[in-house]
């Protein structure tokens, strides 16, 4: 058995997965720390679900490897420690809630019936109700009860809250975070709702075109960047200050007379000698940081890889 206190929950080395249509993931290297909540972010088709399927052993890599607490995801040692909630939350519609939990118990050696029942009960859901008659929010709660009943060390959530209204989303997220706080379970959560991630995630992995664009501790990543706002310069094509080191610019935009840019700090001051006294510089929010990296095609930020190691 691997060490449950091991500091790395997921590690990928040269990870790639190819389908007939092409590479869904390619040359991915990342490390996701244990005991943290990681946001897995990327545009549609970036490879997020493929990554989850590789981490759960449902798919095998075409190249490289992925390890779950140091183990091959297709082995029992890894599978026992991982719970996965997929986008479509597959549950048997004709089962009652009680039958669903019994099914979970029959599949898992270390099943925690009290924990699973507690999650269902806290949502006011009848154990006799058929799953097919439940609201989307109630189905999510039952799916989470199944996931947490397994007592996982790693919980993988592939946009499970996408079909919920905002109030139910917040409630379901609160449920996840309570379990994280109680048990220190590691969570990887994919979501397109960037504004919700800042309050729940402390680590991020951003995929684009099947590759890793950004990874690391969220606070550290924000601190490693600057948001620059000011009146667009007429003399430069991109509106930014002429002396600004363009190699550090992740993304820039001009709206009317105003220019904004997200810039990497990377040690020395990227604005040194740039004549930027008329520009406002601020540390970006996580949402601003993620949006800039989602929009841009620039190189991977190497300093953040160090942050994740
Ligand atoms: N089973 C499969 N067979 C063929 N191609 C696949 C398969 N699964 C994924 N792909 C392709 O791999 C790429 C990545 O898909 P994936 O579902 O992993 O992206 P995603 O980031 O989860 O997208 P979304 O945000 O829309 O859920 C896409 O081009 C997709 O068409």
Residues in contact with 11: Cβ distance below 8 Å, sequence separation at least 6, in sequence order = 30, 31, 32, 66, 67, 70
Q: How far is the CA of 25 from the centre of ligand 1 (A)?
A: 9
Confidence of residue 60 (pLDDT cuts 50, 70, 90): very high
Closest of 143, 132, 141 to residue 96, by C-alpha = 132
Q: What is the mean pLDDT of residues 173-186?
A: 86
Helix H segments across the chain? 48-55, 76-79, 97-107, 113-122, 136-149, 166-183, 194-197, 218-223, 286-295, 302-308
Ligand 1 near 24 CB (within 6 A): yes
Structure-block tokens of residue 22: 């092409």
Ligand 1 near 46 CB (within 6 A): yes
Asked if the model's pLDDT at residue 280 lies above 60, the reply is: yes
Mean residue pLDDT of the chain comes to 87
Model pLDDT for residues 63-105, shown as the tens digit of each residue:
999 999 999 999 988 988 999 988 777 788 899 999 999 999 9
Model pLDDT for residues 1-17, shown as the tens digit of each residue:
444 445 899 999 999 99
Ligand 1 near 59 CB (within 6 A): no
Output the pLDDT for position 307.
35
Q: What are phi and psi of 130, to 5 degrees?
A: -80, 140
Q: Listing from the earlier edge strand, what are the strands of the sheet with 211-217? A: 82-85, 154-158, 186-190, 37-41, 203-208, 211-217
Confidence of residue 272 (pLDDT cuts 50, 70, 90): low
Residue 192 CA: nearest ligand 1 atom is 25
Ligand 1 near 138 CB (within 6 A): no
Model pLDDT for residues 219-239, shown as the tens digit of each residue:
999 999 999 998 888 878 788
Ligand 1 near 276 CB (within 6 A): no
Asked if the model's pLDDT at residue 137 lies above 80, the reply is: yes
Output the pLDDT for position 270.
64
Which helix (H) or strand (E) element contains residue 281?
strand 280-282
Residues in contact with 48: Cβ distance below 8 Å, sequence separation at least 6, in sequence order = 40, 41, 42, 158, 190, 207
Q: What is the mean pLDDT of residues 97-123?
A: 90
Asked if the model's pLDDT at residue 37 lies above 70, the reply is: yes
Ligand 1 near 16 CB (within 6 A): no
Residues in contact with 19: Cβ distance below 8 Å, sequence separation at least 6, in sequence order = none
Indicate which residue's Cα is closest to atom 13 of ligand 1: 24
Which of 20-29, 213-222, 229-238 has the least mean pLDDT? 229-238
Which CATH number does the domain 8-218 belong to among 3.30.70.2740, 3.40.50.300, 1.10.300.10, 1.10.3720.10?
3.40.50.300
Ligand 1 near 216 CB (within 6 A): no
Asked if the model's pLDDT at residue 217 lies above 80, the reply is: yes
Predicted TM-score (pTM) of the model is 0.88
Q: How far is the CA of 113 from the centre of ligand 1 (A)?
A: 34
Q: How far is the CA of 46 from the centre of ligand 1 (A)?
A: 7
> Whole-angstrom Cα distance, residue 51 to residue 73?
12
CA dihedral 189, 191, 196, 199 (to 10 degrees): 20
Where are the domains positioned within the chain? 8-218, 224-299
Ligand 1 near 193 CB (within 6 A): no
ipTM of the complex: 0.97
């Amino acid at each position: 058995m691997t060490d449950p206190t091991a500091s790395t929950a997921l590690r990928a080395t040269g990870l790639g997965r190819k389908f007939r249509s092409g590479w869904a993931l390619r040359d991915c290297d990342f490390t996701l720390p244990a005991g943290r909540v990681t946001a897995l972010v990327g545009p549609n088709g970036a490879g997020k679900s493929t990554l989850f399927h590789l981490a759960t052993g449902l798919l095998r890599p075409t190249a490289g490897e992925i390890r779950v607490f140091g183990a091959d995801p297709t082995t029992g040692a890894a599978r026992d420690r991982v719970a996965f909630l997929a986008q479509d939350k597959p549950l048997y519609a004709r089962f009652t809630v009680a039958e669903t939990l019994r099914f979970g118990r029959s599949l898992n050696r270390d099943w925690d019936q009290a924990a699973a029942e507690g999650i269902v009960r806290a949502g006011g859901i009848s154990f006799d109700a058929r799953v097919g008659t439940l609201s989307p929010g109630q189905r999510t709660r039952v799916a989470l009860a199944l996931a947490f009943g397994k007592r996982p060390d790693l919980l993988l959530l592939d946009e499970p809250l996408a079909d919920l209204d905002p109030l139910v989303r917040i409630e379901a997220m609160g449920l996840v975070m309570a379990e994280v706080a109680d048990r220190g379970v590691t969570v990887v959560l994919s979501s397109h709702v960037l504004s919700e991630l800042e309050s729940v995630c402390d680590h991020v992995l951003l995929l684009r075109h099947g590759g890793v664009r950004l990874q690391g501790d969220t606070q550290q990543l924000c601190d490693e960047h600057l948001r620059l706002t000011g009146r667009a310069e007429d003399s430069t094509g991109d509106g930014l200050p002429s002396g600004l080191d363009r190699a550090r610019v992740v993304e820039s935009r001009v709206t009317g007379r105003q220019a904004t840019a997200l810039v990497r700090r990377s040690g020395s001051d990227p604005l040194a000698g740039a004549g930027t006294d008329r520009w406002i510089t601020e540390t970006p929010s996580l949402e601003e940081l993620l949006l800039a990296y989602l929009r841009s095609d620039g190189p991977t930020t190497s300093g953040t890889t160090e942050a994740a190691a």
